[in-house]
Each structure stands twice: as structure tokens, then as C-alpha cells.
Amino acid sequence: MNKTILLVVFCFSLFVSGYSQGIRFDSYPSHPRLLVKKGEEQKIKSDLALNPEMLRLHNYLLGQCDDLITTPVLAYKKEGKRLLAVSREALRRIFYLSYAYRMTGEDKYRLRAEQEMIAVCSFTDWNPSHFLDTGEMTMAVAIGYDWLFDRLSPDARRLVQEAILNKGFAPSRDKRYNWFLRATNNWNQVCNAGLVYGALAVLEDHPEEAREIIERALSTVGLTLKGYGPDGAYPEGYNYWGYGTTFQVLLNAALESALGTDGGLSSAEGFLASARFMQFMTGTTGKCFNFSDSRESVFALPAMYWFADKLQDPTLLWNEKDMLSRAELSFSDEESRFLPLIPIYGSQYKMNELVPPAMKLWAANGQTPVVLVRTGWENGEGFYLGIKGGTASTSHAHMDAGSFVFDASGVRWVQDLGMQEYYSLEKENVDLWNMSQNGQRWNVFRYNNLAHNTLTVNGKYHDVNGFVPVTNIYSEAHKLGASLNMTDLFGGELENAVREVALINEKYLSVIDRVKAGSQPATVRWTIVTGAIPRVLDSHMVELTKDGKCMQLIVDSPSVTSVSVLDNVSKNSYDASNEGTCRIVFDVSLESGQESDIKVRLVPAAD
């Protein structure tokens, strides 16, 4: 027992020493010190005057703030077990209004921000049982407290400070709520970032408590940062990069602005490289590679401006320029509360002068290995191929190892159905977060391998602990893609299963599965999901049409006797509708020990 305790203490000290180098708590600037220090707003204003795209966004933010002036203040209202929507809206409102005041000096914005802060700080609690709610709310009031400090009324200052201490810090010490300190996913990043903002805001008046919160964050957030290694692929996918990584950026940036260093957090293996990962996660259709719990729609990534500034690489902003050049600016809940980060870190970048990245392929190993191919960077131009390995046992994962998505001619021909909204399942008492082999999560239609672009053996779910590595990467012009070893997914029912997915000569997609049965006969099902309209031409060819375009799916394997079209209608009452989609499937029967090469081409029809 004593040895175990010593080991835990030793590991804890390693994390502290690893991510606290150079941090001193005896010297820090006065308020404001979070992200934009006193006087730094002047440079942003100067840049905006010379940058029409950024000025347009700035004016959008001011317009949003003007609308907030007459909107009722936030009230305590939970959705199921979550207060999260209220916390996120508090962050959006207070961040916007504080930004507007600092950029314009108009008191209407300051006063309205103070009203919102008083309202949420008067809540009985910030719902610590779902600590994301607490983390985001702590960050919200900390930004307002810091940015408006000199102009807040004494009563408001006292109320906010007490709320940070009692509704933020105190429950974070309670073992009933602080499991996020041991998490390896986005919870760690979000909750720690919010608490550190609170600590940096009240540093003068509560130095010991603030230091405790900051050092604790530095000692625990490394658990999540490990997930970016070695190459930058974020294991939880597109949506959660947008969430977890944005809060990581907010954490790193606040430590740098307030204490002069982030203690080495930005140097974590793979972290800075993850910006390119995220850029390559958007296809030529403007849809993302939505593996795991992700939606297909893309959104603006305000954190990307921090990466571009940090790395001095404006090519990272190529996808972002589309978000700012839309005829009418509008933003989703995923991104909207972070929008002030764009002018803070991007006001110097002129969107019309950006150039796209030169590379066509990006690949990474790690918890979720991916290979991402994009041959054109104008919307609808060229091909896009996203391939993933990994395992269903990671946070927010689906049984989608070995799957891929494919864009050509401005159409997504092979798609991922993506996530189902959590509350729609939780309200039906679906045990969504039981990720064991027999967990109910895998009965959700969109989450198991039967509805993904992968292989299924004998009609069974993938082994939840099976891991699919990328074994070869093809990066030459004539062949762009990867091979993956899928054998681990099938519980010994296949002796070998290797999938090769590659774009050939930038003309067509080739999918080759080399499989060998184990000691018993096996049936291998090949599946893709599509939103195109299928027409079976013969036993080896299906014509897909969508948006006036045509794609031919050609099966080059004689062992395949027929190809079928299946609907995506589930028998479960709790499953979401998958209207407008279907599956193209065929089966290959293997005798014990039999080998087979299953070859499929997806060939765009000539215009």
C-alpha cells in the first residue's frame, strides 16, 4: 500500500514538474490580464481598420451585443441533468459584452455584462454534478470580472468573487464531482480551463487558493494532452477537437498572458500539429469527417487563429476564410461563444491574401490513427478521402474502425451517419455511456459497425477492445491512402483482415479487403452508407446519383454474387431518423482457412 501511494505521489510530481516550468506567482500584471492585457486592444483596433473581413466580424459581435441589451438575463434552467446550455450562453454573452466594452468604451455593454454576471452568480449552484457546466460558468464570470474589473461595482465584484470560490473552486475539491481531474478526454480540458480562469481572476485576493487551482490543473491536464501524441490526431474527432482543444487554447493563452508562460502545455507532443489534423478533417464538400460522436456539419474554429499566430502559419486559416466570407454571418452553438478569439488572434490576417496548404495527405498514429487526403482546396474541387483506425473503447467512439468517407465532384458519396443527440437517447433511458462489449450504446443504430463503412463478420459487433493500426501510408501522386490491419476487431473469426483504401491517380477510389477465415467458416459483410440514390445495374455494379452527379460502384470480385440496397430504418424507438440515406452491402462466404481478396472501385462517371 505504501509503495502504491509513493508511486502516485511520484507520478503526480512528474506532471507538476513537466507542466509548471518557469511559472511564478509573485509577479503578474494588473487587470485585465486574461488573453488581452491592458492596452493591447489598441493594436486589434488598428488592425481591424485595415481588414474588412475582420471588421465585418467585429461589427457582427457588436450587433449581437446590441441585441442582448433588451434580452432577459439568464435564468437557472436544466435540460435533463445538464445546465450546460445556460453556462454556454453565459460565456457567449459575457465574453461578447466584455469584448464590446473594451473595444468601444460604451457603458451599455459593461452594464449589461454586469447584469448577466450578477444573475448567474446568484444561482444556487452551477450544477457541479455535471462539472462541464461549472467549468464553463466559472470561465464566463472570470472573463467579465477581469476585463471589467475597474468599472464593476464593489457589490458585483464581491458577488462574483464569492461565486468563483464557492460555486467553482469548492465543488472541484469534492470527490463526488472532480472525476474530471483523472479524465483523459475533453472534460479535463474544459473543467480545468474554466477553474484556472477563475484562479487568475482572483489571484490578488486569494493567492493560495488560486495557486492550488492552477498547479492542480497543470498536474492533471497532461492526461488529456497525451491523446494528441505522437502526431496530432485528436482521438475524439472533429466536434470534440472544437470543444476540448478550444478550451486547451484558452487555458494556454490565459496562462501566457497572466503569468508569462503556459508551463510547457503548448509543447506537448502533437498538440500544435493537431491544427493541421483539424484542417484536413474538412472535405471538399464542406462536410467534416465525422467519426465518433460528431455531426457532419463544419463550424468556424476560432482557436485556429491562435494556432496560426503561434506557428506563424496563415495557411491554417484557409478553411476559416469561408466562414467569414459568407453572404450572411451566422454561427452555431458549437462555435459562437468563442468568436472574440478571432479578432484577438487573427485581426492581422487578411482573408483575401491567404493561400491553401501545399500538401495533399496528412496522417497520424496514436489512439485514433487517421489518414486524410484532400487533392483540392476550393470547395467542390478534387477528391477527399478520410480513413480511420483505432478502437471503440476511446472516449465518444463508435464501432467505426476501418471506415472511411469519400467526396468527389462536390458530393459526399460515402458518409458517416454521425452522432445522435445525447438527450434524445438519455430521455428514453438508453444507457449511452456504458461502452463495454454488451453495453446498450452499441444497440444505437448509428453507433455500431453494421451502419458504418467497414466490415462485419458473421453479423456480430466489433470487439470493443480491438485496435486497428495503420500499417502503410501511400503518399505518392499515383496512390494516396492507407492500409489498416482490422484483424483485431473480429474476435478470432478471421485469421487475417487487411483493408487498403486509396485514391488511384486522382481518378477513382480503390477499396481492397484481403481476408482469411479462421478455423470456422465465416461470412464477411462489406458496407457503405450513402445519401445518393442507388440503382443496381447488375450483380457487380451500382450506379449512385446525387445533385446531378453520378458515381459507379464496381465490385471486381467474382466471389460476390449479388449487391443489395438496405434502408437505414431502425426497429428501435429511440433511434434517430436516417431519412435520405441507405446502405450498399454484399456478403462474401468463406470456408475455414479460405482467403479472398474483395475489390471495389468507386469511379466518377464522366460529365
Do 345 and 309 contact (CB within 8 A), yes or no? yes
How many CB atoms neighbour CB 50 within 10 A?
A: 11
How confident is the model at residue 18, as a pLDDT?
56
The pLDDT tens digits for 498-541 are 999 999 999 999 999 999 999 999 999 999 999 999 999 999 99
- Residue showing cell 456478403: 587
Angle between helices 107-121 and 52-68 (to 10 degrees): 60
Q: How many CB atoms lie within 10 A of CB 205?
A: 12
What is the arithmetic mean of pLDDT over 46-56? 94
What the block records as the C-alpha cell of 241 is 477537437
- Residue 544, in any domain of the structure: yes
How big is the chain, counted in residues? 607
CATH of the domain at 475: 2.70.98.70
299 close to 242: Cβ distance less than 8 angstroms:
yes
The β-bridge partners of 284 are none
Largest pairwise CA distance in the chain:
80
When pLDDT is cut at 50, 70 and 90, the band that residue 586 belongs to is very high
Tally of structural domains, the chain: 1
Q: pLDDT tens digits for 263-316?
A: 999 999 999 999 999 999 999 999 999 999 999 999 999 999 999 999 999 999
Is residue 144 within 8 Å of 94, Cβ to Cβ? Answer: yes
- Helix, strand, coil in percent for the chain, rounding step 5: 40, 20, 40
What average pLDDT is seen over the chain?
95
Distance CA 551, CA 549 (A): 7
Quickly tell me which residue has 458496407 as its cell: 527
- What cell numbers appear for 402 in the block? 476501418
For residue 150 the three cell numbers come to 475597474
Any domain includes 66: no
Distance, CA of 296 to CA of 552 (rounded, Å):
23
Cβ contact 462:490 at 8 Å? yes
Is 71 domain-assigned?
no
At 509 the three-state DSSP class reads strand
Query: If we measure between CA atoms, which residue out of 525, 276, 483 comes closest to residue 369?
Result: 483
The candidate with the shortest Cα–Cα distance to 402, out of 415, 387, 420, is: 387
* pLDDT of res. 21: 62
Whether pLDDT at 38 is above 50: yes
Question: For the segment 59-70, what is each residue's pLDDT rounded down to a tens digit?
Answer: 999 999 999 999
Q: Which of 428, 401, 438, 437 is nearest to 416 (CA)?
A: 401
Reported as a pLDDT band with limits 50, 70 and 90, residue 16 is: very low
Task: Indicate whether 548 belongs to any domain.
Answer: yes
* 513 within domain boundaries: yes
| Domain of 540, in residue numbers | 359-602
Q: Measured at the alpha carbon of residue 447, what is the angle toward residues 441 and 453, in degrees to the nearest 5?
A: 155
Residues 105-137: tens digit of each pLDDT = 999 999 999 999 999 999 999 999 999 999 999
Phi, psi of 195 (to 5 degrees): -65, -40
Residues 67, 102: Cα–Cα separation, whole Å: 18
For residue 321, is it within any domain? no
The pLDDT tens digits for 208-258 are 999 999 999 999 999 999 999 999 999 999 999 999 999 999 999 999 999
Q: What is the pLDDT of residues 166-220, one digit of tens each?
A: 999 999 999 999 999 999 999 999 999 999 999 999 999 999 999 999 999 999 9
pLDDT tens digit string along 381-406? 999 999 999 999 999 999 999 999 99
DSSP state letters, 293-310 = T--SB----THHHHHHHH
The pLDDT of residue 406 is: 99
Q: What value does the mean pLDDT take over residues 12-34? A: 74
Distance of CA 209 to the CA centre of its chain: 31
Name the pTM for this structure.
0.93
Cα separation, 29 vs 31, in Å, equals 7
Q: Which residues contact 249 (CB under 8 A, 6 or more apart)?
A: 303, 306, 307, 341
C-alpha cell at 120: 448567474
For residues 161 and 107, the answer to whether their CB atoms sit within 8 Å is no
**Per-residue pLDDT at 379:** 84
3-state secondary structure of 355: coil
Percentage of the chain lying above the pLDDT 90 cut: 92
For residue 242, tell me if it sits in a domain: no
Q: Is 520 inside any structural domain? A: yes
Query: What would the mean pLDDT of 463-467 be, rounded to a whole number?
Result: 98
Q: Residue 14 CB: number of other CB atoms within 10 A? A: 12
